[in-house]
Amino acid sequence: MKSYLKLVHMEVNRFKYILLGLMGITALCQFGAVIWWTKWWINEWVEDGLQNGASFGYGGTSGKLSFFEMIYNTQILFIAPILLSVGVLAIYVFLIWYRDWFGRDTFIYRLLTLPTARQHIYFAKVTAILLFVFGLVSFQLALLPVEEFIFNLIVPLNLREPSTLLDIIKSTQALTILTPGNFDEFLVSYGLGIMAVLAIFTAILIERSYRRIGILYAVLYLTICSLAVILPIVSLGLNVMDGYLYPNEIFVIELVMCICVVAISVWLGCRLLAKKITV
C-alpha cells in the first residue's frame, strides 16, 4: 500500500502544474464572464432608464437579473475551459503511459524495476486520472458560490433575482453532465468514463507488449469492448415498448457487460504489465 501511495503521489506531482493551469484558466474565464456580463447588463439597464420592477428584455419578465440567467447568457465562457480540461485529460490518458516510454531516460524501465508489484503502477495511474477528474469537478463546483458572491457584489439587491443551486447547474449542458441530478446518473456517467479509461489503459499495454502488431490488437480490443457495451442496448431495444425483455432486464444485462469489460481490462492490463512487458 505504501508503494502504491508513493506512485500515486508521483503521478499527481507530474501533472500538478498542468492541473493548476487548467484551474487557473477556468477561474479566469468564468470570473471574467461574471464581471463583464453583469456590468454590461447594468449599463444597459441604466441607459434604458429603467427602474425597479420595470420590464427589461435582458433580465426576464421581472426586469431583474439572476445568476442563472447570467451563466446562461455567457455559456461559451463557462463551457470553453471545461471542454479544454476534458480535452487535456483525454489526451493525458494516453500520455500518462507513453511519456514513460518516450520521455527522457525511458522512465518506464525504472518503474518496472521498483521493488513493488507491477499492478501498483497500473492502479496508481488509474487513481491519478480519477483524482484529476474529480479534482477539476470539485474545483468547478467550488467556483460557483464564489462567482455568485461576485455577482451579488456587482448587481444591486433590487435588481437581483435569486437562483437555486439546481437552476445554476442546469444553466449549461456542461455543468449538467459534470454533476448528474441523481446518484444513478452519477454512477452511469462516471462509471462509463472509468470503464473507458481502463479499456484504453489495457489497449495501450497491448500495443506496448506487441509493438507493431499490437496496434491492431489494441484497436481490436477497444472495438470488442465498445461492441460489448453498445450491442445489448441496440439489439435488445431498450426504448422499444414491445421488446422481448423489460427495460430493467436489459439494464441488468448492460450492467453485467460493463462489469465484464472492467474486470477483463483490469485483469489483462495487470497481467500484461507483470508478465509480458519486460525491462
63 compared with 214, residue with greater pLDDT: 214
Q: Amino acid letter at 95?
A: L
pLDDT one-digit tens code per residue, 164-181: 878 788 877 788 888 887
Is the confidence at residue 106, as pLDDT, over 90? no
Residue ending a domain, choose from 115, 147, 179: 179
Residue 52 clears pLDDT 60, i.e. is over it? no
Is 115 found in the same domain as 223?
Answer: no
Is 262 within 8 Å of 190 (Cβ atoms)? no
Assess whether 60 and 189 both reside in one domain: no
Q: Cell numbers for 234, please give them.
A: 441496440
Residue predicted with more confidence, 92 or 53: 92
Residues 94 and 197 in one domain: no
Collect all residues with Cβ–Cβ distance below 8 Å to 97 and sequence separation of at least 6: 125, 201, 204, 205, 208
How far from 233 is each of 228, 247, 254, CA to CA, in Å? 10, 10, 7
Q: What's the pLDDT at 240? A: 56
| Alpha-helix residue ranges (DSSP H) falling in the chain | 2-47, 67-73, 75-102, 107-112, 119-154, 165-169, 173-178, 183-236, 247-271
The kind and range of the H/E element at 66 are: strand 65-66
Mean pLDDT of the chain: 84
Clarify whether residues 161 and 246 are in a common domain. no
Q: Is the pLDDT of residue 61 over 70?
A: no
What's the domain range around 212? 182-279
> Which residues, including other chains, have CB under 8 Å from residue 215's CB and lie 6 or more apart?
207
Four-point Cα dihedral 134, 135, 141, 143, nearest 10:
-160
Task: Categorize the per-residue pLDDT at 245 as very low, low, confident or very high, splitting at 50, 70 and 90.
Answer: low
Domain boundary among 158, 179, 200: 179
Mean pLDDT of 22-42: 91
Domain's final residue, options 179, 207, 224: 179
Entry pTM? 0.85
Same-domain status, 114 and 223: no
50 pLDDT above the threshold of 50: no
State the total domains in the chain.
2
Are residues 66 and 195 both part of a single domain?
Answer: no
Same domain as 140, residue 220: no
Selected residue with higher pLDDT from 63 and 160: 160
Tell whether 38 and 166 lie within a shared domain: yes
The confidence band for 56, taking pLDDT boundaries of 50, 70 and 90, is very low
| Co-location of 213 and 235 in the same domain | yes
- For residues 98 and 112, membership in a common domain is answered with yes
pLDDT digits (tens, 9 = 90+) for 200-242: 999 999 998 887 898 999 999 999 999 998 888 777 665 555 5
Q: How confident is the model at residue 57 (pLDDT cuts 50, 70, 90)?
A: very low
